[in-house]
Amino acid sequence: MILPAFHALALRLKLFKAPIGLMSIAASLAGSTAFLEKVTALSSLAALGTGFVATGALVLNNIQDRDIDRIMNRTMHRALPGGKIRLAEAAVISPVFILLGNVILMYASATSRVLIFSMAAVVLYNFLYTPLKRITPFSVIPGLASGAMPVYIGWIAAGGPLLSEKILFLLALMVLWQIPHTWITGLSCLEDHKRAGIRGAASSHPPAVMHKLIFLWAAAFAVAAMNLPLLGITVSAASLVLITLNALTIIGIFAYVIFAENERAPYPVIFSSINISIMILHIIIITDRIPLPHLISLIQ
């Protein structure tokens, strides 16, 4: 009984694309913390709501892409194309999660306008980026916008103004992270994407050119992150040290991998490292305002 239950849970976590949902929660909480300069129960709840909306959108994306997922080696064994989860179940989960996430956001937020940006993220991801990626490489534009929305949702939910240098910087940082993230995915799945008809920058330029562009954007992301203390988003000396180490690590890993004279770079290494890097930055922002003794007690 236990093993089938774990198997069923694992299948649904894959359907939910759980790591992306967790990243959305962290981004939302980082956005609210940047404005409030503290973590509150309501900001944590709003982050959870953001995660539910993101997960609902990701499940909907699985439904939308199930036809091309069947013909790509990377995705053919996913829950829907592999027939491991019924389409009807996914079709119920998606709207329920999106609705639940918005209800939570409405309860936990300082303003109802957070719902506008929550649903804008769904529209950008599911109704612009997802269909357009089969038509034009410029689908990356709504894709980048939707990927940056969780940090903005957290900011707005906390009562932050629509525009300020802090939130604009955090949005820019999310975009800088997503560009190498997206291109690495395109290069690692190049043949899959050609078969599926997905249009992207990786199919338009030689790998050697893409490798250099990826390094430049990853380095720009790493260097930009070092401005977090200058904007007052983080304030502690420990955060400054961690942000600097994070930046140097990313630049070092990408330089070593990209310039190793390897036509096919070990993409999983740099893909994981750039994703871990943005998570580390969000955790630094979230924990920076927590007094050290209190942080230690939470860990214990």
Query: Does residue 119 sit in the same domain as residue 221?
Result: no
Task: Tell me the CA distances in angstroms from 129 to 90, 99, 122, one per residue in order.
Answer: 20, 21, 10
Distance, CA of 10 to CA of 3 (rounded, Å): 10
Do 148 and 201 belong to one domain? no
Give the DSSP letter of residue 203.
G
Q: Which of 146, 162, 178 is the last residue of a domain?
A: 162
* Number of structural domains in the chain: 2
User: Can you tell me the distance from the alpha carbon of 13 to that of 79, in angstroms, rounded to the nearest whole number?
Assistant: 10
Residues 209 and 68 in one domain: no
Q: In sequence order, which residues have a C-beta less than 8 Å from that of residue 116 and are 6 or more positions away? A: none
Q: Under DSSP, is residue 55 helix (H, G, I), strand (E, B) or coil?
A: helix
Domain boundary among 111, 139, 162: 162
Do 40 and 52 fall into the same domain? yes
| Same domain membership, residue 270 and residue 207 | yes
Flag whether pLDDT at 76 surpasses 90: no
Q: Of the candidates 109, 141, 162, which is a domain's last residue?
A: 162
d(CA 43, CA 28): 8
Do 88 and 105 share a domain, yes or no? yes
184 and 266 within one domain: yes
110 and 182 within one domain: no
122 vs 76: which has the higher pLDDT: 122
Give the range of the structural domain holding residue 211, as residue numbers without chain letter: 165-300
Torsion of CA 238, 161, 179, 63, to 10 degrees: 120
Q: Same domain for 151 and 178?
A: no
pLDDT of residue 296: 53
Shared-domain flag, residues 87 and 19: yes
Per-residue confidence band for 131, with pLDDT thresholds at 50, 70 and 90? very high
What string of H, E and C letters represents the secondary structure of 130-147? HHHCCCCHHHHHHHHHHH
Taking the alpha carbons of 208, 212, 214, 215 in that order, is the dihedral positive or negative? positive
CATH code of 112's domain: 1.10.357.140
Pair (217, 191) in one structural domain: yes
258 with 293, same domain? Answer: yes
Nearest to 203 by CA among 216, 193, 212: 193
pLDDT, tens only, 44-67: 999 999 999 999 999 999 999 999
Q: How far apart are CA 152 and CA 71, in angstroms?
A: 35
CA 276 to chain centre: 11
Confidence check: pLDDT of 196 > 90: no
Q: Which tens digits make up the pLDDT trace of 250-281?
A: 999 999 888 775 556 688 899 999 999 999 99
pLDDT digits (tens, 9 = 90+) for 155-183: 999 999 999 999 999 999 999 999 999 99
